[in-house]
Amino acid sequence: MGTHQNPSQHPHHQPQRHPQRDQTGTHRDPYAEQKKAPGIEVCELCSLVHHAGRWQAGAPPLGDVQLTICPACRRVKDRAPAGTVRLRGFAPGLFEEIRGLVRNIEAKERAEHPLERLMEVVEANGELRVTTTGAHLARGIGEALGRRFRGELSLRYLDEAGELQVEAQHRG
């Protein structure tokens, strides 16, 4: 019987839910907000409002507002996804259904967490690649598609910033 030197190679290993933290206990994600800005901020690209420590949709409260770019829009602008879902082994005829499921999952997640967004859905070389602004959305998409199509799923964080790589392999 072999042993697994690296826990991530164990067949039942689940990656950390949160990216690694440094010695101060903070994420190493360069897109995470480092300091809470005083007052109210509005994203100049998507109009989300940052108020009371949270990004949310809607009109900003009355008062002075500061224009900024929210973390999700910065990721899109920099083409720096927090999550990537790669779908392999799926018949190209299923791609349109998969795209619809992905859009539905994103709409549901974005209603509660407006920084979780799709960046791109690209078809190339017989696979579908979905990039997201949030790791939780990528994980949710992978898990939902794995359940729907009875596929195999692997999850791993690629770097200390916490980018999540989700691979879904269709078994049918």
Identity of residue 121? V
User: How far apart, in whole angstroms, are the C-alpha atoms of residue 84 and residue 154?
Assistant: 12
Residues 25-81: tens digit of each pLDDT:
444 667 776 566 678 999 999 999 998 888 999 888 787 889 999 999 999 999 999
Q: Write the class of the CATH domain 77-169.
A: alpha beta
Task: Provide the residue ranges of all domains of the chain, joining segments of one domain with +.
Answer: 77-169
User: How far apart, in whole angstroms, are the C-alpha atoms of residue 124 and residue 26?
Assistant: 36
Query: Two tokens at 156?
Result: 């791993």
Q: In what order do the strands lie in the sheet with 118-124?
A: 118-124, 127-132, 83-88, 164-169, 152-157
Query: Two tokens at 18?
Result: 């949160």
Spatial CA neighbour of 66 closest among 38, 35, 46: 38
How far is the first Cα of the chain from the last one, in angstroms, to the nearest whole number? 30
pTM over 0.85: no
Average pLDDT of the chain is: 81
